[in-house]
Amino acid sequence: MNIPLTHSLEARYYTDPEIFGNELNGLLSRTWQFAGHVADIPNVGDYFAFEIAGQSLFAIRGRDAVVRTFYNVCQHRAHEMVSGTGNTRVVVCPYHQWTYELTGGLRAGPNVKSVPGFDREKICLTEVRTEDFNGFLFVNLDKDAAPMDDWFPGVRAELRKYVPHIDTLAPLEWVECPENCNWKVSVENYSECYHCPTNHPTFAEGVVKPETYDIQPDAGGGYVLRHVTECQSLESMTYPIDLDSNEHAGDYQSWFLWPMFSFQCYPGNVLNTYHWRANDVDNCTVWRGWYTENGHESDVIRGLAVQDRETTVEEDIRLVESVHRGLKSKGYVPGPLVLDPACGVMSEHSIAKLQQWMREAVD
């Protein structure tokens, strides 16, 4: 019996500017995207600006302690409202000093009372859907999008089992990694470990046991890829862990949330994250986040961040940039994916699922 092979995506999905434009205005504008952490804006009036799908946004904590996100544009003559990070009692447009409450409503503007029929109650900054996911802030430009628990069923509770102290965590370090490749090349590379044993010796020999590594693309439903494996033997680990501290201390698990974010729990209940930003068809940026309780200093976590950047991340940058160059080769013919029915570390089931989502997003 001949079983049809599943081939990888055609190169145009990664190299065609028109497809990238469709993603920017479609997929990336209708999915949940990471904005920041609640610890970044702990006080009333704290804010930070960021960009999603080519749109400038800012998140701000209101007097009711609620974090809201708005498009970063004044409703008067379209000047940007804020930049970077800061704290403010009210949001003031630098152009004409129109002033908005922390809830987005217009408070005042120079000489507006002289305008017949002017009704400030009808003017408000445009709000964006925002969710707090275990302290991580996500936004969705689609006001009708399903909530995150529908997209990623079970993940919120699973994270709490692997990272029992998640409510106390705050960012310790962000590691920014520019990559000269299409964002999907980078996401695909992250989402399989077929390449790990031969390309990531530190990760494969000093953190996890590759022979136990598995990625289950359909476990739990939703748009989630779950990576699971056991830790290396204690004498081989590159950092200390206490296996007796809780039931998941010796486990590694990650949850990739389509399309551009992943929670990773390293052995020892060490939470770290990846999030991607698509800059253009040929470039993306990856951030690695590392967290500790209340953001306190930790030699172990600082050391892990350095180790990761100098080994796994650097190794991956070389790989994905080579792949992106190769996708522009006239000699490339998409080959069949390696789909082992038993899944496991040497299978590309996760890539087949990812590429299904990628096709659905633009076809």
Query: Is 154-362 in the same CATH topology as 33-140?
Result: no
Mean pLDDT of the chain: 93
Give tens-digit pLDDT for 16-42: 999 999 999 999 999 999 999 999 999
* Rounded mean pLDDT, 120-127: 96
Nearest Cα to Cα of residue 52 among 22, 73, 32: 32
More confident residue, 216 or 359: 359
Give the pLDDT score at 3.
62
Tell me the C-alpha distance between 217 and 135, whole Å.
25
The letter for the amino acid at 118 is F
Residue 155 pLDDT level (bands cut at 50, 70, 90) = very high
Q: What is the pLDDT of residues 327-362, one digit of tens each?
A: 999 999 999 999 988 888 888 999 999 999 999 998
Instruction: Return the minimum-mean-pLDDT range out of 147-151, 262-266, 274-278.
Output: 262-266
Q: Would you tell me how many other CB atoms lie within 10 Å of the CB of residue 64?
A: 9
Mean of the pLDDT values across residues 112-139? 96
Under CATH, which architecture does the 33-140 domain have?
3-layer Sandwich (2.102)
| Domain boundary assignment for the chain | 33-140, 154-362
For 137-147, what is the mean pLDDT? 97
The rounded percent of the chain whose pLDDT value lies above 70 is 99
Rounded (to 5) percent helix, strand, coil in the chain: 30, 30, 40
How many other CB atoms sit within 10 Å of the CB of residue 328?
11
Question: pLDDT for 237-275, tens place per residue?
Answer: 888 888 877 888 788 889 999 999 999 988 888 999 999
| Residue of 167 and 196 predicted with greater confidence | 167
Structure token digits, residue 218: 């359909």
Write out the two tokens for 291. 């967290």
Integer Cα distance of 296 and 306 in angstroms: 17
Mean pLDDT of 150-176: 95
- Report the pLDDT value the prediction gives residue 1, as an integer from 0 to 100: 45
DSSP designation for 84? S
For domain 154-362, the CATH superfamily is: Naphthalene 1,2-dioxygenase Alpha Subunit; Chain A, domain 1 (3.90.380.10)
**% the chain with pLDDT above 90:** 78
- With bands split at pLDDT 50, 70 and 90, how would you rate the model's confidence at 2? low
**Each residue of 299-329: pLDDT tens digit?**
999 999 999 999 999 999 999 999 999 999 9
- Out of 54-58, 167-171, 214-218, which region has the weakest mean confidence (pLDDT)? 214-218
Alpha-carbon distance of 288 to 12, in angstroms, equals 28
